[in-house]
Amino acid sequence: MKIKTTFLLFILPFFTFAQGPWEFNTAGNTEGWIATQGSAGASGILTATGTFIRYITITGTSSTARNPTFTNATANMDGTAFNSIQIRVKNGSRATYLRVLADGTSYYSIITESDIDYKTYTIVLNRIGTIVSIAFEFRLYDGTTGGANYVPQATLPTSVGTNIDIDYIRPFNVVTPTRNVFNFNTASDVEGFTTLTRSTAIQAADGPNGTLKMTSTVVSALESKVALNAGTFTVDGTNKYAHVTLKNSSTNTRFVLNANGITYFPYQAYTISDATYKTYDFNLSTWADGNQQPEFGFSVQNTWLATSTYAVNDLVVFQNSTYRNTTGTNTATTPKLDPTNWVLQGIEGALLDITNSIYIDNIVFDNIAVVPTKFGAIYTAAKNKIVEVMWSTYNELNVKGYYVQRSNDGVRFSDLFFVTAKNLQESRYDFTDRTISTDAIVYYRIKALDNDGTISFSSVVKINLQNTNSSAISLVNPVKSKTLQMQLNGLQNGNYQVKVQSLEGSLVLYKNLPIQNTSSSVSLSLPSTISKGFYILTVTGNEFRYASKIIIE
Ligand SMILES: [Ca+2]
Ligand SMILES: [Ca+2]
């Protein structure tokens, strides 16, 4: 009996030392972890707040104080039961690469620098037996496997005195096979989409579709996010794509996919207040192979442009907020950081829709490039009952051609003209309609016909020929010296909006134009960086609409 008691006391320390997860939820207890910075072991101060541990970077030198490192020399993690280690960290430092040393063997993950949110990184170790010592070393990603030394410097951009906060470190088991398809069809199953920022995501039914119902919850200058738990998704190979089918019933106008510090935009224009579902395709071919941590971000698209000129009282959208210009000046800093010229209207972030939801029906990661022809912008310009219809397309593949269609009611369209497709990556077309006899409201759209008979349509544009007084606006065209000069005659007093867009639809100039005189000369500076070529100018307001193709020389 006495011998057995001695034996139990002897083996007890082994169980005590088999550790993890490390949650850091006790103030003053770093749970065996220490922080150092540098190959010379410059000691750092590690604080346990009661929910996380914090290290504040110190000034480095290339030979000694570099690479902030968190070490647990007696981690004793069970590498057989857990094939991975997971760390939830808010990396406020400028380090971009995380090296994990498991008993001296290196593993890596790219991380987000200067992060304002926590992110969970899962590093697959695939070791057998006890891993005695574990260290996390913050380095720089340089395209090599090992990364480069990260040396916090006091010089700009400053990186000294930034925080690295760790919420937890957990032994983790990556479940195989990995999942690439998410349907959200089973009640209460969010299929791993549990890491959320400024939003909720619950499984919900929407009509016949099981969905991931995502709702922004906080009025904020930052986007709201849903992230897929690490380790449940992987796609390898040369071509990597994501296809997300969703219905955006909110008024949030921006939908992106973030991963590895890169922001991806869908091929398709993101629509708001949708009544039906729509599939958005992302090309993720620049991702590394292996496990990824895709994160969907929802917000309101900025309308502020650093290169645009603005007048007093012009309103812009920046970071889900409305700013008003107070001086007629626009510096290259953001409206938020430029209180001399811009003032916040209302509450910061108030434009983020926290009432209406985004319903994600399914998400598929695969190697299948979906490149149906995508319509870019479609424009019309009219003068004296002659209408010019212009459109651009992307990813033309096996397209036979396009029908220009016209309608008097916006519902029933008939074919006007057929043009053969160029089948290029990017194409532009135009057609001039000289067959209109009355000053009526007319509608146009483009019908694309594929070689296999598939038909798709562009959006519909409406033009009121009564409001296209050809003498209302005269232009200096081509535009010289990057200055747009217009003479306006006979327009009703009021506010008008001037837009210059590329043929691909990107906005290069947006300006409010208050008109108080029946005859006005307007001179607008275009961004100095604007490329030469064709653009579309539109002037709208007071039921008036004018559009013209312009050449910038
Ligand atoms: Ca914690
Ligand atoms: Ca579904």
Do residues 356 and 298 touch, judged by C-beta distance below 8 A? no
Give residue limits of the domains in the chain.
2-172, 181-300+354-366, 374-466, 469-552
| CA end-to-end distance (rounded Å), the chain | 98
Q: What is the DSSP letter of 6?
A: H
Q: How far is the CA of 521 from the centre of ligand 1 (A)?
A: 63
Ligand number nearest to the C-alpha of 30? 1
Q: How far is the CA of 179 from the centre of ligand 1 (A)?
A: 27
Q: Which fold has domain 2-172?
A: Jelly Rolls (2.60.120)
Pairing mode, strands 199-206 and 209-216: antiparallel
The predicted structure's pLDDT at residue 312: 94
pTM value?
0.52
Pairing mode, strands 483-489 and 519-525: antiparallel
Q: How far is the CA of 33 from the centre of ligand 2 (A)?
A: 43
Do residues 358 and 372 touch, judged by C-beta distance below 8 A? no
C-alpha to C-alpha distance for 169 and 161, rounded to whole angstroms:
23
Average pLDDT along the chain: 84
Ligand number nearest to the C-alpha of 183? 2
CATH says 374-466 is which class?
mainly beta
Q: How far is the CA of 206 from the centre of ligand 2 (A)?
A: 9
Q: How far is the CA of 95 from the centre of ligand 2 (A)?
A: 38
Residues above pLDDT 90, as percent of the chain = 34
Nearest of 181, 365, 179 to residue 283 by alpha carbon: 365
Q: Tell me whether domains 374-466 and 469-552 share a fold.
A: yes
Q: Which two tokens stand for residue 184?
A: 């959200």
Query: What are the residues facing 101 on neighbouring strands?
Result: 106, 135
Q: Which two tokens stand for residue 473?
A: 């606006």
Task: Give 349-361 pLDDT, tens digit per residue.
Answer: 999 999 999 999 9
Do residues 359 and 246 touch, judged by C-beta distance below 8 A? yes
* Edge-to-edge strand list for the sheet holding 224-227: 195-197, 224-227, 295-299, 254-259, 262-264
User: CB-based contacts of 397: which residues, under 8 Å, 6+ apart?
Assistant: 371, 372, 373, 423
CATH architecture classification, 181-300+354-366: Sandwich (2.60)
Q: Distances in Å between the alpha carbon of 50 and those of 29, 36, 353?
A: 8, 21, 33
Tell me which of 379 and 393 has the higher pLDDT.
393
The predicted structure's pLDDT at residue 2: 42
Q: Which fold has domain 469-552?
A: Immunoglobulin-like (2.60.40)
Mapped onto helix, strand or coil, the DSSP state of residue 68 is strand
Ligand number nearest to the C-alpha of 185? 2
Q: How far is the CA of 210 from the centre of ligand 2 (A)?
A: 4
Q: Angle at the Cα of 215 (from 211 to 217), degrees rounded to 5?
A: 160
Q: Which two tokens stand for residue 91?
A: 């990396």
- Looking at the predicted structure, is the pLDDT value of residue 512 above 80? yes
Q: How far is the CA of 124 from the centre of ligand 2 (A)?
A: 30
C-alpha to C-alpha distance for 318 and 298, rounded to whole angstroms:
14
Show the DSSP H helices in 405-494 as ranges. Answer: none
Task: Give 199-246 pLDDT, tens digit per residue.
Answer: 999 999 987 789 999 999 999 999 999 887 655 666 777 778 888 999
Q: How far is the CA of 172 from the centre of ligand 1 (A)?
A: 16
Q: How far is the CA of 297 from the centre of ligand 2 (A)?
A: 20
The predicted structure's pLDDT at residue 157: 54
